[in-house]
Chains A and B, each alone.
Chain A
Amino acid sequence: MSLLSVRELAAFYGDFQALFGITLRIDAGETVAVIGSNGAGKTTFLKAIAGLLPVHSEAVRFAEQPVGGRPAHELVALGIVMVPEGRRIFPSLSVEENLKVGAYGKRRGPWSLRRVYDLFPILAERADQPGTTLSGGEQQMLAIGRALMANPRLLLFDEISLGLAPVMVRNIYHAMSAIISGGTTALVVEQDVSQVLQVADRVYCFRKGRVSLEGRPADLSREQISAAYFGV
């Protein structure tokens, strides 16, 4: 059964159409990657699912319910939680307060402050520091931990490797594998293909607001992916 099913999703910024009929599904427990170059519509797609863009209500169904266009805070209550691009740590809150804000909706589930600290021990060490004094990689851990505090059923990762050192990217993906193996369904959006293909069960490639390729990473050749990615 699909946890998330997206059908013929169109999204606009004013008069500009960014997505042209995206169809995609994610089954419970699956990890799905969306790849594509800059401007392919990946972030727009995540915003539409997370409730930051107005879309048709039937275009997005979550756990068999139409949820398209509902405000982000209602979707968080249903269990759709996003780790936003650029991390978006709250600067006037400490590390621990940032995590606690993640638990604002009091959704029940396996994640707690203690479990997030077990996953990212560095956050426990820095608990009382302002969130934005952390390094980029640590802030990314904080952003992931903050999203986990909401006990997501579907976790959306937006460009989590952007601007991080390669060693930190590996750390983050290592943590992501741990989260996924705990049973959380994940949608991972990335420009950097190499890491994400190792964790994803299935992958969709976007180009110019449309799905240009979909399949299992093992079934796709490098040539197929680069053709779908660059359109050459």
Chain B
Amino acid sequence: MAVIDPIVQGILLGGLYALFATGLSMIFGVMRLVNLAHGDLSILAAFLALVTVRVTGLNPLLSLALVVPAMFCLGFLLQRGVLNFTLGRGVLPPVLATFGFSIIIQNLLLEAFSADSQRLNPGGIETASIALGDRLAIGWFPLITFVVAVLVLVGLQIFVSRTSLGRAFRATSDDQDAAELMGINNRSLYGLAMAISLGIVAVAGVFLGIRTTFVPSSGPDRLLFAFEAVIIGGLGSLWGTLAGGVILGVAQTIGAKLSPGWGVLTGHLVFLAVLLWRPTGLFAGAMKRSR
């Protein structure tokens, strides 16, 4: 049981990492844009939930009904208003622009909420658990997180493989000019892609805020874990992203089990090992093959 417990907890934690990573991976796939503000935008969503809870008294889980649409709209505006203008001029402009957004978001949050750590309180569910035998228990909340992550990925998979818009996403990802020649308006498609990406990362941010405390500067850590999950799983593969998140989560919980300070470090080491062994990730292109 001593081995099983961290593995189970790690798998569930991986669901959260996959939620962080999915949008990042999708944006890179569709428009070759590396969104360095991805982590900060998730923290922004957590603070939005905090404000919603304070103002309306809603449960933070229910606040998702407001926070997700808000982040969806923000993503659309951010892409159409700013990021679209940075595309097509090399790799640097979008990286600089999103890095700038990262700094702006962190400082605005610091200004508005101070550096105090915050937490979203969903009223008991975050500590409730199901006992499986004497020494193993699964928390309700990590389980919900994992299930939500899987549902989001299933939804995204159906969207990408079955709908006309999803086909357009893949076509644009393959060849932007050819997609444009087929009547696809890439720029408006990018707006939608960023909106979906931020809608998903909003869920991740709120779940993070329920699971643990957060401060305005928590974003970059989240971005790093998301990158690691994407790269372990392999770019362009939705299920690879989940697997990447799970591998990272298991590595961290096992590391933390060995010594409390080793969790994050072990995650990084596993990430580096994958990078050395299979630089394209473990499941690269699986989405393309399975279709």
Contacts and interface: CB of A to CB of B under 8 A. Distances in A.
Interface residues of B, number: 21
Interface in A104-133: 104-105, 107, 130
Given A100-B164, A101-B167, A91 B182 contact: no
A92 interface: yes
B182 A104 contact: yes
A90 B183 contact: no
B178 interface: yes
A97 interface: yes
B85 to A, nearest CB: 15
Contacts of A71: 180, 185
Interface string A115-154: 0000000000000001000000000000000100010000
A100 B165 CA distance: 11
Interface string A69-108: 0011100110001101000101111100100111011010
Interface in B172-187: 173-175, 177-186
A87 to B, nearest CB: 9
A50 interface: yes
B291 A92 contact: yes
A213 interface: no
A52 interface: yes
Contacts of B180: 51-52, 71-73
B170 A92 contact: yes
A126 to B, nearest CB: 14
B237 to A, nearest CB: 11
B174 A104 contact: no
B173 A101 contact: no
A102 B167 CA distance: 10
Contact of A101 (B171, B186, B287): B171
Interface string A185-221: 0000000000000000000000000000000000000
Contacts of A93: 167, 170-171, 174, 291
Nearest to A52: B177
B186 to A, nearest CB: 8
Contacts of A76: 181-183
B149 interface: no
Nearest to A146: B182
Given A90-B174, A92-B291, A130-B291, A84 B181 contact: yes
Interface in A143-189: 146, 150
A51 B177 CA distance: 10
A52 B178 CA distance: 10
B176 to A, nearest CB: 10
Interface in B152-201: 164, 167-168, 170-171, 173-175, 177-186
B29 to A, nearest CB: 10
Contacts of B278: none
Contact of A91 (B164, B167, B174, B186): B174
B32 interface: no
A101 B179 contact: yes
A90 B178 contact: yes
B288 interface: yes
A68 B163 CA distance: 32
A76 B186 CA distance: 13
A175 to B, nearest CB: 19
A101 B170 CA distance: 10
Given A90-B170, A92-B170, A104 B288 contact: no
B159 to A, nearest CB: 14
Given A90-B174, A92-B291, A101 B182 contact: yes
Contacts of B171: 90, 93, 101
A92 B164 contact: no
Contact of A97 (B167, B177, B186, B287): B167
Contacts of B185: 71, 73
Nearest to B175: A88
A130 B288 CA distance: 9
A104 B291 contact: no
Contacts of B168: 101, 104
Contacts of B184: 73, 101, 104
A90 B169 CA distance: 11
Contact of A104 (B164, B177, B287): B164
What 6 pairs across the A-B complex have the smallest Cβ distances?
A76-B183, A105-B183, A88-B178, A92-B288, A72-B180, A90-B174
5 contacts: A50-B181, A76-B183, A88-B181, A92-B174, A104-B167
